[in-house]
Structure 1
Amino acid sequence: MKLVTRSQWGARAYRTPNGATPYSRPRRGVKLHYLGTPYTDRTHDRCDDYVRQLQAQHMDGNGWSDIGYSFLVCTHGYVYEGRGLKRRNSANGNTTLNEQDYAVCLLVGSSGLVKPTDDQLGGTRDAIEYCREEGPAGDWLGGHRDGYATACPGDAVYAWAQQGAPRPGGTAVEPKPAPATKPRVSVAHLRSAARQDPPAAQGHTTYKAEVLVVERALRAEGLLPADYVDGSFGSKTIGAYARWQRSPAGGGYTGADADGIPGKASLKLLAARRGFTVTD
């Protein structure tokens, strides 16, 4: 994928707190968009100018906290990072729809250039797969008009989405097999491990498999060094979990509520972001 990061295309800083709102659960899939205004193709060295112009329109004209889309794809097949994988988009019509699916905009218009190029279709396919593999997003694929009264993403893009978004010259991509069953962790087991492991001999583990699920999630959040992802809910893991509890994504707890001993509410927030299931 020819990804152009925000720093590479010169994005403005997004406004907080709204521009920093994370998704609260995995996405169902991806919705495709077009610009809804006339668009004329341009040389690639001018595409980043247009993306910056679009961000300014969304922030200064619409009053949004950032460019509305998760990603944008130019006619040359480059994928521009908008709000990206983690921050909720504002392009799908309302908060529920924005939460439900990623928003990927093809730089084609309602007049002028209305049919995507082969390079653009290939780049959009790359973006869809990136959202599915790294998001996470499910296999659902459609257009802005699905569930919202609009002509977006235009007939050409919508027809391609309805075909399964095949790569140019290829065939529609078959849906991926159903994902494996999510790991399950028990609140009671984790609380027991967090109380028993720290004072025990080094290497002691309680409910190791479930602790590893949580440690890997904390590692993915950047809160726990890889050396301590070992299945033991020791002091380092307790400290990392306390940092998760204090974080906005983890509930913003303070004092005794952020003691590093897992509670159901903070654990469910972590599970929603990292793909496991909480029992008890």
Structure 2
Amino acid sequence: MAIDLVSRKDWGARAPRGSYTTLTSTKGVKVHYTGGRVEPAIVDDHAKCVAVVKSIQSFHMDGNGWLDIGYSMVACPHRKVFVGRGPGHLPAANGPGLNSGHYAVLGLVGNSGLVQPPDGMLYGILDAIAYLRDTGGAGTEIKGHRDGYSTDCPGAALYAWVQKGAPSPGGEPPTGPGPESHPVFSGRLLKYPPVLRGDDVRTWQAQMEKRGFTLDVDGAYGPGSREVCRTFQREQGLGVDGIVGKLTWDAAWEAPLA
């Protein structure tokens, strides 16, 4: 399956203080929100999403005394999914006695500021759930944190979405359009440095050339491709990081031509 993963290394995660408890299967996933204020500016700047995730990890480790961030995965407005504790590891965010029943997926919305999850975040949560099912033995249940634990989490907006069955925004497939619409994202992030080479790079470059950008369609993702990517991301209102993830890949075919 395609998912735009942000590895622990890429978001600058601190090393856990100890060993995780192994978790081989669960009933499903519980959805969370931050419980605090989330600045709406994160929608326009993915770097701010990274900063929020790092601050949550620090609070969990230094404030709660946990061995690591408490969530399994974290979804941001740019349809990027941060690896928290990851699949196969017991989370800590669901509450005492409840962590072995469900993985914990956080959507970066709060109780003030950004409270309504953008479509990209909902897709990211769905991507995280599918990933945990594929790689971590997650069951089919999708619950809110408040289901079984006394809390307002995941907030009114996210919980209403969960109660509806966590539908894809607009009724579209959560993994994006199929091969009939455009080439499916391979799941590999295209970024530089170092120079990445492959058919997926060439496919993306050829599409960007069709959109009017000037670049070498040589299958090598270097500084020139990165600058084209950044320019395109600015034009489309995406997080400007110069990395072709799923959101940027899909937009290359789906965004209207200027």
User: What TM-score bracket applies, with the shorter chain setting the length?
Assistant: 0.5 to 0.7
The CA deviation string for residues 25-54 of structure 1, in whole angstroms up to 9 with x for no partner, is 411000000000111122112211221111
Q: In structure 2, how many angstroms separate the alpha carbons of the residues matched to 1:171 and 1:139?
A: 19
Give the TM-score, by structure 1 length. Answer: 0.58
Give the TM-score, by structure 2 length. Answer: 0.63
Q: Which residue of 2 aligns with 1:114?
A: 115
Q: Which runs of 5+ in 1 are unaligned?
A: 174-280
Q: In structure 2, how many angstroms separate the alpha carbons of the residues matched to 1:165 and 1:128?
A: 10
* Misfit runs of 4+, over 4 Å: none
Counterpart amino acid of 1:108? Answer: V
RMSD, matched Cα: 1.5
Q: In structure 1, how many angstroms separate the alpha carbons of the residues matched to 2:91 and 2:138?
A: 14
Is 2:78 the counterpart of 1:76?
yes
Pairwise CA distance, 1:124: 0.8
Pairwise CA distance, 1:172: 9.2
The CA deviation string for residues 94-124 of structure 1, in whole angstroms up to 9 with x for no partner, is 1x31011000000000111111001111111
Q: Which residue of 2 aligns with 1:127?
A: 128
Q: Which residue of 2 aligns with 1:50?
A: 52
The CA deviation string for residues 149-187 of structure 1, in whole angstroms up to 9 with x for no partner, is 1110011101111112111111699xxxxxxxxxxxxxx
Q: Which residue of 2 aligns with 1:21?
A: 21
Q: In structure 1, how many angstroms separate the alpha carbons of the residues matched to 2:129 and 2:156?
A: 19
Question: Which protein is bigger by CA-based radius of gyration?
Answer: 1
More relative contact order, 1 or 2 (CA 8 Å, 6+ apart):
2
Q: In structure 2, how many angstroms separate the alpha carbons of the residues matched to 1:45 and 1:16?
A: 28
Q: In structure 2, how many angstroms separate the alpha carbons of the residues matched to 1:53 and 1:111?
A: 17
Q: Which residue of 1 aligns with 2:102?
A: 101
Q: In structure 1, how many angstroms separate the alpha carbons of the residues matched to 2:90 and 2:83?
A: 13
Counterpart amino acid of 1:137? Answer: A
Q: Report % sequence identity.
A: 51
